[in-house]
Structure 1
Amino acid sequence: MDLARRHGLSTQAVRNYEEAGILPTAERTSSGYRVYTPLHERALAAFLALVPGHGHATATAVMQAVSRDAVDEAFQLVDESHARLLHDRRTLRAVEDALRGLTAESAGADAAGFRPMFIGPLAEELGVRPATLRKWEAAGLVRPRRDPVTGYRVYEPSDVRDAHLVHQLRRGGYLLERIAPLITQVRTAGGLEPLEGALRDWRGRLSDRGRAMLRGAAALDAYLVELG
């Protein structure tokens, strides 16, 4: 069976998969040629189906575990990959919730007219201590300017927006280092609307990943049935 041609791979790639333990060890002819069977076809199909949803490293580890007859270990690897997807979905949901709340707050602020804020009133509005805002500033999450006369921190509308977003995400249990990339994206986009488009794309990628995992599960199950 010509596995390489059937899957659009090089012959060396198939050999590498066998040597890595992704495929079962093939028997050899008297002249040393590898003999691939329908079982190898199932194994290769399972591996290639697992990669889009789980990534190359996890797909490799799953197939290696199956080759060692450690099926429970393979299932655990799949479970952990699904858990990461669930974590990513929850992160997305938290960001979307934060943006919805922030958009509503921004609309209210726009209607009332906005004036720059000092650290005390902003901390009171958020329900945090001024020291918390200073900690966020040290982490680069908010960047208030300093009044040239008094030296007080002055929070402009974009600073207040960032502080509210950080506050919402912190309430969701997210660490500062995980919030920083999001704040950077908001600043780069110049506001929340472009970020909403990015979140739609993110949601789409998660859905694609989930469906790919389903296809991978079906192919892996077919291989396990073939193994018996």
Structure 2
Amino acid sequence: MTCAASREPERYTTSQLAAVSGYSAQQVRDLDRLGVIPPADRQSNGYRQFAGLHVTALRAYRGLAIAVGPVVARATMRDIRGLPIDEAIARIVALHVDLARSRADAVAALRALDSIVDESAHNTPAVPGDTMTITELSTALGVRSSTLRFWEQEGLIMPERDEPLAARRYPPDAVSDARIVATLRAGGYRIPAIQAVMTSLHTLDRTTDAREALHNRLRDIAFRSDALLRAGADLSNMLHSTAVNDAVARNR
């Protein structure tokens, strides 16, 4: 049985809240000022006074920041306290949906990459002049011609051109690069990350690195999803405690 002396205090100073939450005192002040956590009470001397609700809110914010990043986490923490509880819950569920969609995209990209490898293994060797026009390649990939030109500007694919103003022609290696870039884009990768992957592909196995990049993304999404699940219980407790406190305040 827990003795009374070992129980956590019901009220916290800024430094006490920092100690139990793992944040610095300045971080606690900043999160209070930004409205990320419920507003602190003020003592007669002007000092902040916090409660157990703030411990829960800070723990929820930590998990939320891991899951969706600090900017979205701060906005979510601020917004949900002003929403009806059903809308607040829907806002949190939407974050789970976004992560699930990201995972589905990465899984689909892995499957597409495997299909590229499988097709490459069964394709007949390329012959001189076996190229695609920009229109043919854009149609095959389901992207715009302007997208292929942008990828070229970023150094992701290199078409052949007899002269600077001649029409672009895409040999088999360029077509393969374009398909891998399209696959990584479908998996949620941004251009700088794809540039790093493609640089590696040109010195290593052409698909192993891309596959490892997508597996790393899946591991990251799983880690973030776990953090969001853990934050969910604290967010629920925070919302219900806030609703109870608001109801008590209205009935006074």
Superposition TM-score tier, normalisation by shorter sequence: 0.7 to 0.9
Segments of 5+ residues of structure 1 without an aligned counterpart are none
Match of 1:97 in 2: 111
What's the TM-score, normalizing by structure 2? 0.69
Q: Which amino acid aligns with 2:30?
A: N
How far 1:196 moved relative to its partner?
1.0
Tell whether the 8 Å contact from 1:47 to 1:63 is kept in structure 2 after alignment.
yes
CA offsets per residue over residues 174-198 of structure 1, 9 Å max, x none? Answer: 6xxx886676455312221111111
How far 1:49 moved relative to its partner?
2.4
Match of 1:61 in 2: 75
| Counterpart pick for 2:132 among 103, 107, 119 | 119
Kindly tell me: are residues 156 and 8 of structure 1, through their superposed partners in 2, closer, same or farther at Cα, counting changes over 3 Å? same
Matched, 1:198 2:213: yes
Separation in structure 2 between the aligned mates of residue 200 and residue 210 of structure 1, nearest angstrom:
15
Match of 1:146 in 2: 161
Matched, 1:187 2:198: yes
Instruction: Say which structure is richer in helix.
Output: 1
Length, aligned pairs only = 213
| Counterpart pick for 2:39 among 13, 19, 25 | 25
Match of 2:173 in 1: 158
| Counterpart pick for 2:30 among 16, 23, 43 | 16
Match of 1:7 in 2: 21
Separation in structure 1 between the aligned mates of residue 41 and residue 183 of structure 2, nearest angstrom:
59
| Counterpart pick for 1:71 among 66, 85, 106 | 85
Segments of 5+ residues of structure 2 without an aligned counterpart are 1-11, 245-252
Tell whether the 8 Å contact from 1:98 to 1:169 is kept in structure 2 after alignment.
no
Separation in structure 2 between the aligned mates of residue 49 and residue 134 of structure 1, nearest angstrom:
41
What's the TM-score, normalizing by structure 1? 0.75
